[in-house]
Amino acid sequence: MTDRTRAHVFVSGKVQGVFYRANTRDTAESKGIDGWVQNLSDGRVEAVFEGPESTVEEMVEWCHTGSPAADVDDVDVEYDDPNGEDGFRVRR
């Protein structure tokens, strides 16, 4: 089995109200990534991606652009061991 990893991502900028979460979900599902995405009260978007290391890296890279209407200022990411996310969902 391919080595799996977990990326915990915080995206700042104009990332709420621009379909960022929906686009993240669609992109993650198309790549077979497990995890979730949600808006935070401070205007950022938080996401967790679990899957093969190279595919998770592609997802993190995608976050720097995100949805077509987004204007991303920064992407903070922390890596950890996967904890068994199953499927991809939008929270809140």
pLDDT digits (tens, 9 = 90+) for 33-75: 999 999 999 999 999 999 999 999 999 999 999 999 999 999 9
Residue 2: helix, strand or coil by DSSP?
coil
Res. 2: pLDDT tops 60: no
Token readout for 29 is 């599902």
Closest CA to 32 of 81, 86, 70: 86
Domains and CATH numbers, the chain: 4-90 (3.30.70.100)
Active site residues: 21, 39
